[in-house]
Amino acid sequence: MGWKNRDVISIEDFSIEDLDMLFKLTDEYLEGKYSNDLLKGYIIGNIFLEPSTRTRISFEVAAKKLGAEVINFIGEYSSIKKGESLFDTFKMMDIYTDLIIVRSPIEGTARYASDICKKPVINAGDGMLNHPTQAMIDLYTIKKIHGRLSDLKVGIYGDLRYGRAANSFILGITKYPNNVIYAISPPQLKLRDEMKEKLKEIGANFYETSNLNEVISYLDVLYVTRIQKERFPDPAEYEKVRGSYKIDLKSLEGSKPELIVLHPLPRVEELSYEIDITQRQAYFKQVSFGIPLRMALLSLILGKV
Ligand code: NCD
Which residues are bridge partners to 46 per DSSP? 72, 101
- Is residue 213's pLDDT more than 90? yes
Contact 65, 299 (CB under 8 A): no
284 alpha carbon to ligand 1 midpoint, in Å?
A: 14
- Decide whether any atom of ligand 1 lies within 6 Å of the 130 Cβ: no
Shortest-distance Cα residue to atom 8 of ligand 1: 264
Q: What percent of the chain has pLDDT over 90?
A: 94
For a pocket test of ligand 1, which of 48, 55, 159, 162 has the largest count of ligand atoms closer than 8 A to its C-beta?
55
Q: Mean of the pLDDT values across residues 42-49?
A: 96
| DSSP at 25 | H
How far lies 102's CA from each of 66, 73, 143, 293, 304, in Å?
Answer: 20, 10, 27, 17, 22
Query: Which residues touch 19 (CB under 8 Å, ≥6 apart)?
Result: 136, 139, 172, 175
Q: What is the pLDDT of residue 168?
A: 98
Interatomic CA distance for residues 254 and 23, integer angstroms: 32
Residue range 11-130+289-301 in CATH 3.40.50.1370: yes
Helix (H) or strand (E) holding 154, with range, is strand 153-157
Average per-residue pLDDT in the chain? 96
Burial class from Cβ neighbours inside 10 Å (0-12, 13-18, 19+) for residue 234 reads exposed
- Decide whether any atom of ligand 1 lies within 6 Å of the 164 Cβ: yes
Ligand 1 atom closest to the CA of 264, numbered from 1: 8
- Decide whether any atom of ligand 1 lies within 6 Å of the 264 Cβ: yes
Which residues are bridge partners to 72 per DSSP? 46
Interatomic CA distance for residues 191 and 162, integer angstroms: 8
- Is residue 76's pLDDT more than 90? no
Q: What are phi and psi of 44, to 5 degrees?
A: -100, 135
Burial class from Cβ neighbours inside 10 Å (0-12, 13-18, 19+) for residue 54 reads middle
* Distance separating the N- and C-terminal Cα atoms of the chain: 15
Ligand 1 atom closest to the CA of 50, numbered from 1: 3
Contact 62, 32 (CB under 8 A): no
Contact 206, 199 (CB under 8 A): yes
Shortest-distance Cα residue to atom 7 of ligand 1: 55
Contact 255, 217 (CB under 8 A): yes
pTM higher than 0.85 for the full model?
yes
125 alpha carbon to ligand 1 midpoint, in Å?
A: 8
Count how many residues are written for the chain: 305
Least confident of 81-95, 158-172, 250-264: 81-95
Contact 166, 159 (CB under 8 A): yes
Domains 11-130+289-301 and 132-287 share a fold: yes
For a pocket test of ligand 1, which of 123, 265, 271, 288 has the largest count of ligand atoms closer than 8 A to its C-beta?
265
Per 3-state DSSP, the chain is made up of helix, strand and coil in percentages (nearest 5) of 45, 15, 40
- Decide whether any atom of ligand 1 lies within 6 Å of the 55 Cβ: yes
Burial class from Cβ neighbours inside 10 Å (0-12, 13-18, 19+) for residue 201 reads exposed
All structural domains of the chain with their residue ranges: 11-130+289-301, 132-287
- Decide whether any atom of ligand 1 lies within 6 Å of the 265 Cβ: yes
- Is residue 84's pLDDT more than 90? no
Shortest-distance Cα residue to atom 6 of ligand 1: 264
- Decide whether any atom of ligand 1 lies within 6 Å of the 292 Cβ: no
Q: Mean of the pLDDT values across residues 64-93?
A: 89
- Decide whether any atom of ligand 1 lies within 6 Å of the 54 Cβ: yes
Ligand 1 atom closest to the CA of 103, numbered from 1: 3
Q: What is the pLDDT of residue 217?
A: 98
For a pocket test of ligand 1, which of 52, 232, 270 has the largest count of ligand atoms closer than 8 A to its C-beta?
52
* CB-side neighbour CA atoms (13 Å) of 53: 5
41 alpha carbon to ligand 1 midpoint, in Å?
A: 30
**Which CATH class, in words, describes the domain spanning 132-287?**
alpha beta
* Three-state secondary-structure class, residue 265: coil
Confidence of residue 14 (pLDDT cuts 50, 70, 90): very high
Ligand 1 atom closest to the CA of 131, numbered from 1: 4
Interatomic CA distance for residues 209 and 183, integer angstroms: 6
Tens of pLDDT, residue by residue over 85-129, are 999 999 999 999 999 999 999 999 999 999 999 999 999 999 999
Which residues are part of the catalytic machinery?
54-55, 82, 103, 131
Interatomic CA distance for residues 154 and 22, integer angstroms: 22
